[in-house]
Amino acid sequence: MCGIVGYLGKRNATPIVIEGLKRLEYRGYDSAGLAIIDTEGDLKVFREEGKIIDLERIMPAPEKSFGNTGIGHTRWATHGEPTVANAHPHICCRNQIAVVHNGIIENYKLLKKKLISEGHIFVSDTDSEVLAHLIGYFYEAEHDLVTAVKEALKLVEGTYGIAVICSDNPDLIVAARKGSPLILGIGNDEFFITSDVSAIIIHTKKVIYLHDDEVVSVTKENFEITNIDNEVVKAKISEIDWEVSSIEKGDFKHFMLKEIFEQPTSVENAFRGRLDHKLSTVKLGGLNMTPDEFRNIEKIQIIACGTSWHSALIGKYVIESLARISVEVEYASEFRYKNPIIPPGTIVIVVSQSGETADTLAALREARTRGVKVFGITNVIGSSIARETDGGVYIHAGTEIGVASTKAFTSQVTVLTLLGVLLGRMKHLAPTYGKKFLEELKMIPNKISEILENNHYIRNIADTIKSSTNALYLGRGFNYPVALEGALKLKEISYIHAEGYPAAEMKHGPIALIDKNMPVIAIALKDEIYDKIISNLAEVKARNGRIITIATRGDDSVQDFSENVIYIPETIDVLQPLLSVVPLQLLAYHVADLRELNVDQPRNLAKSVTVE
């Protein structure tokens, strides 16, 4: 979703901001822009629809757009179409102040009306432009940019991460946040502002994560963080602990493929250091809970969106099966508005790769308002969700750039499965089971690698379904959410309509769609409900459906009704999703690639949805 990059230092801001914006392309956007204060002290603004490359086309050569102070933005349209006029930065009437904004100004209509009555002229349909005029309005009175920004923000309702420059103060960037991430990067005699550290990591690993209602003013020499009431804030400098290579594609054609192939390592990172072989259990210290607190959990509500919601659903199956604790899984957007019932003894877990999804964050806050303990399962260290929860577990998947989540999903599932075992062992689960689980889990990374060896075979299958208009994914039990995830992957990046269903439920509707053209992708692994799903597939076959089966290695019987079979290694039931999803990720990837689509940045989607 929208991204912010700002630079202030001795170098030319333009190429640094442009490069930073390119690093944020993965988040999803539909227009981009940049403002600099040039060596003459003039504010220069460039904006374009489409991609950064389109913005570069309309810009003068970097040496002709030289300035030490610059801010840039990638916009994912919310209010107003992705046009040049709606792209950021927005400027005040006097052409002095430029603002980039992430988030939504909820009371913009009211503010806009007032400003228009004061003579301000608006040129866009956005909510964000109101900030440029409002800051301009206070700047005229105060002639102090920091004060003007604070006064303006006091009137604003909604969420924001903003960066502001003013041609009267060429050596100053003012930035602020509320509900939308913003980070100060500290270099050698230079500073960066960004909404996502990926944009600046090639320049510095020293960062300060701003908190809500904080305002930072940055000059070439120094920075100061204050809150909206002018109290000075003592901020903590953090060190980013990942490498630039994690945001490079390397030899892979797409980030998504790279991330699928990283899963043997990312899954291992999710459980490394968390296995207790002595007691045949699991340790999750970040939850900050005592054994008694664990044992007193009567109910769990897991809240998430998108792919994280699917991992949450697997978490439900695992926790209910191993710990016999009832688990409810909610869409964050539904939870936050439905006056949820949270019975005593409940804990809430929010699952979010980015840790910034607006609905999940709002649901977390709603749960905490009701006095419930909320735990987070996130990937991004220092993210809003990580900071606002009572405790949590990082999945350590490394940066995920492809919009379609893959390695974050398997890492989330790993952590939720660990939680299931931990809770189970606190209650009635036998040590022999714990031991078996730990042994099986340790073999998962190698088993994923074995599945990845089928990459070319899966591409050939993808070639046979690439022109389909619909696809049906079927699974049962632990693999029902995997079917949902497989269908989501396909629709997200290939734009083929796909649905996931619990296999038996197919009879109650989707069976009407089955014909020789629609691929049915079925997960039919050797487990307790194997026979049941085989019967469901017989029903598909009887209607001339073409079946692609994910089966347990050595199971020849599925050949009879399958057009193609993708074999995966055997494991215990609760760990099956970590294996069965991998061929589905590859299948979706290859279909999209064979259709020559933009796999890493599918249309209309955003990596991190920071608006409702």
Rounded Cα gap, residues 363 and 119, in angstroms: 40
Instruction: For residue 609, state whether it binds ligand G6P (rule: CB under 6 A).
Output: yes
166 labelled catalytic: no
CA distances in angstroms from 97 to 94, 472, 537, 572, listed in the order given? 8, 52, 64, 61
For the CB of residue 379, give the shortest distance to ligand G6P in the complex, in Å. 8
Specify the residue, 476 or 607, whose C-beta has the smaller distance to ligand G6P.
607
- CB of 388 vs ligand G6P, minimal distance in Å: 14
Return d(Cα 17, Cα 47) in angstroms, integer. 13
Site for ligand G6P in 25-64 (CB under 6 A): none
Residue 159: C-alpha distances to residues 128, 137, 180, 439 (Å): 11, 20, 6, 46
Identified binder of ligand G6P from the candidate list 352, 384, 494, 601, rule CB under 6 A = 352
Q: Known catalytic residue: 2? A: yes
What 8-state DSSP symbol labels residue 556? G
**Binding span for ligand G6P by CB under 6 A among 276-284, 301-309, 531-539, 574-582:** 301-309
Q: Is 383 in the site for ligand G6P (CB under 6 A)?
A: no
Identity of the residue, 128 or 405, whose beta carbon is nearer to ligand G6P in the bound complex? 405
CA-CA distances (angstroms) from residue 109 to 113, 157, 208, 380, 508? 6, 11, 33, 34, 47
Options 2, 92, 93, 166, the catalytic residue: 2
Residue 605 touching ligand G6P (CB under 6 A): yes
- Residue 283 beta carbon to ligand G6P: minimum distance, rounded to whole angstroms: 24
Q: Please report whether residue 2 would count as binding ligand G6P according to CB under 6 A.
A: no
Distance CA 595, CA 457 (A): 17
The reply on whether position 577 binds ligand G6P by CB under 6 A is: no
8 Å CB contact between 5 and 14: no
- How far apart are alpha carbons 519 and 545 in whole angstroms? 7
Stretch that binds ligand G6P, among 44-52, 455-463, 507-515, 601-609 (CB under 6 A): 601-609
Binding residue for ligand G6P, selected from 96, 333, 405, 494, defined by CB under 6 A:
405
Q: With b meaning 16 or more CB within 10 Å and e meaning fewer, what string describes 419-455?
A: bbbbbbbbeebeeebbeebbeebeebbebbeebbebb
Minimum distance from CB of 481 to ligand G6P (Å)? 13
352 bridge partner residues: 378
* Binds ligand G6P by CB under 6 A, chosen from 145, 607, 610, 611: 607
As measured in angstroms, the least distance from the Cβ of 487 to ligand G6P is 14
Under the criterion CB under 6 A, does residue 354 sit at the interface with ligand G6P? yes
Q: Are 126 and 79 in contact (CB under 8 A)?
A: yes
Instruction: Choose between 129 and 359: whose C-beta lies nearer to ligand G6P.
Output: 359
Is residue 360 part of the contact set for ligand G6P (CB under 6 A)? yes
Tell whether residue 68 is a contact of ligand G6P (CB under 6 A).
Answer: no
Structure-block tokens of residue 257: 């493929």
Which of 189, 265, 187, 183 has its CA nearest to residue 225? 183
605 contact partners, CB below 8 Å, separation of at least 6:
28, 403, 492
Identify which range of 236-244, 305-313, 497-505, 530-538 contacts ligand G6P by CB under 6 A.
305-313
608 makes contact with ligand G6P (CB under 6 A): yes
Catalytic residue among 44, 178, 205, 607: 607
For the CB of residue 261, give the shortest distance to ligand G6P in the complex, in Å: 18
Beta strands in 325-457 (DSSP E): 326-331, 346-352, 374-378, 391-394
305 binds ligand G6P (CB under 6 A): yes
Residue with tokens 């769990």: 300
Which residue from 353, 384, 564, 610 is in contact with ligand G6P, where contact means CB under 6 A?
353
**CA–CA separation, 91 vs 136, rounded Å?**
9
Size of the residue set binding ligand G6P (CB under 6 A): 16
Instruction: Write out the binding residues for ligand G6P, residues 165-184 only, by CB under 6 A.
Output: none
Write out the H or E segment, with its range, that includes residue 494.
helix 480-494
CB atoms within 10 A of CB 584: 27
Choose which of 55, 197, 374, 403 interacts with ligand G6P (CB under 6 A).
Answer: 403
| Distance of alpha carbon 348 from alpha carbon 405, whole angstroms | 23
Residues in the chain: 612
Q: Is residue 414 within the footprint of ligand G6P (CB under 6 A)?
A: no
**Cis (ω within 30 of 0) for the bond into 431?**
no
Stretch of 116-124, 348-356, 503-511, 557-565 contacting ligand G6P, by CB under 6 A: 348-356
Q: Which is nearer to ligand G6P, 17 or 182 (CB)?
A: 182
Active site residues: 2, 607
Residues lying near ligand G6P in the complex (CB under 6 A) are found at 305-308, 352-354, 357, 360, 403, 405, 605-609
